[in-house]
Structure 1
Amino acid sequence: MSSKYGGCACGSVRYKVSGNPLSVHACHCTDCQTLSGSAFGLSMLLNAADIELTRGEPGINDFTASRDRMLRHYCPDCGVALWFSSPGDSSIVAVKPGTLDDTSSLRPIAHMWVRSAQPWLQLGDDVPVFQEQPTLAELLELAKKAGFG
């Protein structure tokens, strides 16, 4: 993948992604619905070393989603969430793909936590679905088959 750029809505925080995504997936858990303000949250997993700040400094808030402690990296001026990380594993980050300048090439390889999906949402048969959380190994295996990584 060639470098991709992204940032917040106001432009105060900008970043560059230099590596290939490990995965792009849609999560329908109630935490992601709340955090995204939408029917699901879209995430792009990356090696943390593949994201570089090019402008500004994100704020970080520490919170617990379900049972997992998370760090939300966001613009302190406009509040847009840029990526999430885990204090227990700082090697991988979950970038919010909507903050990329160009999202046209991104396709989710899985839908997870569909047991919590909105009842009106119609999912196609072309992307695997998980009723709950797949293991990271399962997700990365799907991503490998889809040409990620």
Structure 2
Amino acid sequence: MSESHTGGCRCGQIRYRCEAAPLGASLCHCRDCQYASGGPFSAVAFFPGAALSLTGELRHYAVKGTAGLTVQRHFCPNCGTPIMSTLVEMPDLAIMKIGSLDQPSAVPPGNHVWCDSMVSWLKMDDGLPRLPGNPPL
């Protein structure tokens, strides 16, 4: 049986299933993720886009991300829960918000990325590798 991860929004209007193991997971400290999450970083897991099935209609907005790629940020239009991001330049990648997973502990991050933008007061002694920019995918 293949690995499967489910999740959705706070109000239940959006549900999804990823029928694959994550390609990786990161704590992203880029300035764009700080704005989008309302916090000092965003916890994200990378899945093959073809493995994702979704019920409900997401809304999205697009921005130029820190690396210059076009990031589409998808959220529930009813409760506002951030669900995922996609990159116009990498359409086969689904970047899921770990907090939207039903079992967020099942997908631990493997590194910190965009640490050049990490807020100065955040002290995280978790032993994870710290990268100045994007994760290798």
TM-score (norm 1): 0.83
CA-CA distance at 1:94 after TM superposition: 0.5
Q: Match for residue 62 of structure 2?
A: 62
Contact residue 43 and residue 97 of structure 2 kept, 8 A: yes
Contact residue 13 and residue 78 of structure 2 kept, 8 A: yes
Read off the aligned partner of 2:59 and give its amino acid letter: G
RMSD of Structure 2 on Structure 1 (CA): 1.6
- Sequence identity, in percent? 33
CA-CA distance at 1:2 after TM superposition: 3.2
Q: Match for residue 117 of structure 1?
A: 118
CA-CA distance at 1:111 after TM superposition: 0.5
Q: Match for residue 25 of structure 1?
A: 26
> Does 1:133 find its partner at 2:98?
no
> Does 1:4 find its partner at 2:5?
yes
Contact residue 29 and residue 118 of structure 2 kept, 8 A: yes
Unmatched 5+ residue regions in structure 2? Answer: none
**CA deviations over 1:39-58 (Å, ceiling 9, x no partner):** 101110000011101x3121
Q: Match for residue 38 of structure 2?
A: 37
Q: Match for residue 88 of structure 2?
A: 87
Does the C-alpha gap of structure 1 residues 80 and 125 become closer, same or farther in structure 2, counting only changes over 3 Å? closer
CA-CA distance at 1:125 after TM superposition: 5.9
Does the C-alpha gap of structure 1 residues 134 and 103 become closer, same or farther in structure 2, counting only changes over 3 Å? closer
Unmatched 5+ residue regions in structure 1? Answer: 137-149
2:105 is paired with a residue of what secondary structure?
coil
TM-score (norm 2): 0.89
Aligned residue pairs: how many? 135
CA-CA distance at 1:134 after TM superposition: 4.0
Q: Match for residue 14 of structure 2?
A: 13
> Does 1:97 find its partner at 2:98?
yes
